[in-house]
Structure 1
Amino acid sequence: MSIYNKINAGFSLSTGSPVTSGIEDVLYIFNQDDVTLTYDTENPLIITGLTAVASAKVYKFEGTNNSFNSMSKLAKTQVGPRYTEEIDFNVAGLSVDIKTQLMAMGYGRVCAIAVNNYKDSDSAIELFGAVNGLIVTEAERNAADETLDGGYKIKLTNPDKLKEPYPPRAVSIAPESGTATYASTITAIEALVA
């Protein structure tokens, strides 16, 4: 039975583990061509492996006080549903290295992994930009903005006319022997961090 054409399950709100909004103040970002994604053979919404190409790395961006956000929005098109994916984050800095990274994310395509605050789900960790990648579409700096101390507000989103065919993918990576858990997935991602 295809997951695309027919519903096959219901859901209910959990009173024991109520939904929690937001994402953790950490993002893992990598160049789209630098990491090969492995998908679950029965469900393309689940990524079961991340493999670095040659010596490529995943880069860890850390923030504070809920300074990161993710968003996915359905858009109905003539060929079916598509999803706009966005990652918003702040950069507390103004160095040439930061500007170089922002330029690279504006021209090249990246993927981003966000960790949801709500952990009682098989989508606690999600990957954005799996098919078409993400680019920096906004990089705003107001030197007088006291909330960021003159840092940058950044938005990563899909390139023009290239929405994603799926919602953000769940990332669930098992250890060498055993079942995938939240901890095993974070360990696998961290192993690729520069």
Structure 2
Amino acid sequence: MSIYNKINAGFSLGTAGPITSGIEDVVYIFNQDDFVLTYDTVNPLIIKDITAVGTAKVYKFEGTNNSFNTMSKLAKTQVGPRYTEEIDFNIAGLSTDVKAQLMAMGYGRIRAIAINNYKDSDSAIELFGAVNGLIVTEAERNAADETLDGGYKIKLTNPDKLKEPYPPRAVSIAPQSGTATYASTIAALEELVA
């Protein structure tokens, strides 16, 4: 029995952990082909391990003042539901290194991990682009834009006609011994950071 074709639980909103909007000002980005994802066998919406191929690294992008945002939107198609996934963030820089990274993200496929401000959930940490990856679809720079001090506004989203078959996957990585927690997942991600 698949969890995707039958309702199997209910939910209610509680006052103990009210939902909180937004994500933290950090995004972990890595090349799609550089890491292998291991899915939970009971619930494929959960990624339980991320393994580097060779010496590949995860790159950490940090921002300030709510400069990052994520979005997932359902699109009904003839073959079933698909999801458009997006991550918007700002880059306060203008070097040739920044431009080279933007070009690489525009041509190659990447995956991105965001950390929600709402932590009372097994989806506090989410991966975007699990199946089809993400590419830079917008990179806008207005030199006179004082809000970004002339930096770039970036949008990562699915390549044309390649929406995701599932919503963003939860990332929940256990330590060597024990069960997965928020702290163990962050520690595992930080170990992969360049």
Task: Name the TM-score, length of structure 1 as normaliser.
Answer: 1.00
TM-superposed deviation, 1:2: 1.4
Name the residue aligned to 1:141. 141
1:16 aligns with 2:16: yes
Distance 2:113 2:156 in 1: 12
- Number of residue pairs the alignment of both structures matches: 194
Partner letter of residue 74 of structure 2?
L
SS in 1 for 2:37: strand
Distance 1:35 1:115 in 2: 19
Distance 2:38 2:2 in 1: 20
Name the residue aligned to 2:177. 177
Distance 1:179 1:44 in 2: 17
Counterparts of 1:73-92 in structure 2 under 5 Å? 73-92=73-92
Distance 1:2 1:132 in 2: 22
Aligned CA RMSD, in angstroms, stands at 0.4
Deviations 1:10-36 (A, max 9, x none): 001120110000000000000000010
Partner letter of residue 124 of structure 1?
A
Partner letter of residue 170 of structure 2?
A
Name the residue aligned to 1:30. 30
Distance 2:100 2:123 in 1: 32
TM-superposed deviation, 1:174: 0.3
Gaps of 5+ in 2: none
Counterparts of 1:160-171 in structure 2 under 5 Å? 160-171=160-171
Identical columns (%): 87
Deviations 1:36-71 (A, max 9, x none): 000001111000000000000000000000000000
Name the residue aligned to 1:5. 5
Distance 1:5 1:49 in 2: 26
Name the residue aligned to 1:156. 156
SS in 1 for 2:192: coil
Distance 1:144 1:43 in 2: 48
Partner letter of residue 158 of structure 2?
N
Name the residue aligned to 2:105. 105
